[in-house]
Structure formats: structure tokens, C-alpha cells
Amino acid sequence: MALRLLSRRTLGSRILSYRASLHSHATSFGFQQVKEEEKSKLVGNVFTNVASSYDIMNDVMSAGLHRLWKERLVGKLSPFAGMKHLDVAGGTGDVAFRIFDAVNSVKRRALRKVDEASLEETQIYVCDINPNMLNVGKQRAADRGLRDNKSLVWVEGDAEALSFDDNSMDGYTIAFGIRNVTHIEKALAEAYRVLKRGGRFLCLELSHVDIPVFKELYDLYSFQVIPNLGELIAGDRDSYQYLVESVRRFPPQERFAKMIGDAGFEKVEYENLVGGVVAIHSAIKL
């Protein structure tokens, strides 16, 4: 696997030789610099490897907290019946299932007057670049009895070049996916393009912690514990090393908010959860 070639021990010399051959089109793959064309391949490899144990690893790494974070994300979205929603990089379907449940829950239907016809119109598109992740998601849908449900649509696609029409989506979410994208600005531009007027953009992502003591603890946990867990549970240390490095390379909250604003969005806000370990950025297209 390409990752093994770029092992950290020989990083110094590799980086020097890479720098010679790199021009302005370099990007980061964790703490390593790689050519852009390679990044998506490398990321693809990472997720192909982790797909089957993705959900378990999420639970172990975040001690189950990732479920709460996703609940919060969906709560902020406030899904409504009849909405067209796009969940990007949502391979295994966590967010999509939550949105589906939120719209179709019996309790919600009892409390509010919901038009049954509009319930039929609800469409939740799950887009992921990696077919393995999508397959895991489809399997989970089948397990829940939603295999043939028209509301959930599984689409293979690239966040930087979506196959959806302009102004077609009421909501766009991307949970723990945007740091894996090679050109974040392109993904944001695509998000802006597919959203309708008044549509919301929501991004849940691991972000930067500034709180003094907590930061050190978090770094310790990230670099010492997580790769070992990856090795133990998923049998893949390198992928999880990539994971924690890519989190550090991702822009901090303020800068990412600025990037969202530059893409054309209005009312850009972010909310830190667990002191900044995770941040939910939200914005509206007007």
C-alpha cells in the first residue's frame, strides 16, 4: 500500500525529494505532502480498508459520543417532510438514517399535522466516493428493513463534482468527510451550487482544541491511543495515523468559517462540541 512507502521514519528525506518535484499543486495527506492526484487515491485506499470496521472504530474512538454529535447535527438541521436532502461522504448512512427517522417518526407525525403526500416526497441522497462504504450503508439499510424504501437513495459520487442539479437540495450535510477532500473550496462551491435558496449547509468535523490542559490530553489520546486501537480492532494502524494527522491539518474553526463564507454562504456560524474536538459549522444559501 502506498502508505507503507511513505513511512514516517524516512519522512525527512522523502519530503526533501518530494519538495523538489512538487510545484504549487501539493496537498497534505496527514502530515505528509503528496501530489494532489495521489491524495484521493490514498484516501480511497484508507476507506476501502476501514469500511467494514468503520462504525465500530467510531464507537471505540469517541466512546460512543459520535452518536450524540450526529444527533446534534440532525437536530440543527430540523428536517421536514418532503425535503430533498444530500448527505455527502455519508457512506455508512449514520446521518441519513437519523434524518429519515426524524422525518418519519410516528411521534412526530402524531404531534404535528403532516401531509402524508409530502412524506412520500422526502428524498435523502447518500453520496460517497467509495463504493465499499456505500455497500456497508446499503447493508445497514437492509437490516433496518429499508432496502426498498424510495426515500433513501445511495449514489456514488465525488464531493468536488456532484452529479446533482443546481438548486435542487433543501439540505446538505457532510459529517467527518470534508477533511478528506482534496480541494475543500471545490466541495464548498458544489454544496453552494446544489442547494436551493434558503437551503442549509451543515458540516460536522473534527476540529481544533484550544483549551490548555485539555489540548495536551487530546493530543496524547490522538497520537498514542488511536493508532494502537486501529491496529487492535481494525488491523490497520496506518489508516488511523492518517486520520489523526488529517484532523490536525484541517483548517481551524474560524478559517473554515471564512472559507464557507467565501463560497457564498450567509449566516455562517459554528458550534464547538467537547471543547473543540468536534465543530458543527452551519450556513445558509440565500
Residues at the contact surface with other proteins, assessed by CB under 8 A: 76-80, 83, 112-113, 170-171, 195-200, 253-254, 257-258, 260-261, 264-273, 282, 284, 286
- Alpha carbons 252 and 250: distance in angstroms, whole number: 6
Shortest Cβ 150–other proteins spacing (Å): 20
- In the block, residue with C-alpha cell 525527512: 12
- Which residue number, 56 or 68, has a Cβ lying nearer to other proteins? 68
Shortest Cβ 61–other proteins spacing (Å): 23
Reported as type and span, the H/E element at residue 40 is helix 36-50
Shortest Cβ 243–other proteins spacing (Å): 25
- Which residue number, 83 or 136, has a Cβ lying nearer to other proteins? 83
- Which residue number, 158 or 170, has a Cβ lying nearer to other proteins? 170
Number of alpha helices (DSSP H) and beta strands (DSSP E) in the chain: 14, 9
Cα distances from 11 to residues 14, 95, 139, 238, in angstroms, run 5, 37, 39, 14
- Which residue number, 58 or 253, has a Cβ lying nearer to other proteins? 253
SS3 239: helix
Shortest Cβ 199–other proteins spacing (Å): 5
SS3 56: helix
Partner residues linked to 206 by β-bridges:
278
Shortest Cβ 115–other proteins spacing (Å): 9
Where would I find the beta strands (DSSP E) of 81-208? 84-88, 123-128, 152-156, 169-175, 195-206
89 Rama class: left (phi>0) / alpha (psi -120 to 50) / beta: left
Shortest Cβ 286–other proteins spacing (Å): 6
Residue list, annotated binding site for S-adenosyl-L-methionine: 92, 128, 158-159
Residue list, annotated binding site: 92, 128, 158-159
Decide: 200 and 172 in contact? Cβ < 8 Å. yes
Cα distances from 17 to residues 31, 38, 51, in angstroms, run 16, 16, 33
- Which residue number, 6 or 263, has a Cβ lying nearer to other proteins? 263
- Alpha carbons 262 and 5: distance in angstroms, whole number: 37
- Which residue number, 91 or 199, has a Cβ lying nearer to other proteins? 199
- Which residue number, 195 or 234, has a Cβ lying nearer to other proteins? 195
Residue of 266, 221, 262, 273 lying closest to 244 (CA atoms): 221
Shortest Cβ 95–other proteins spacing (Å): 14
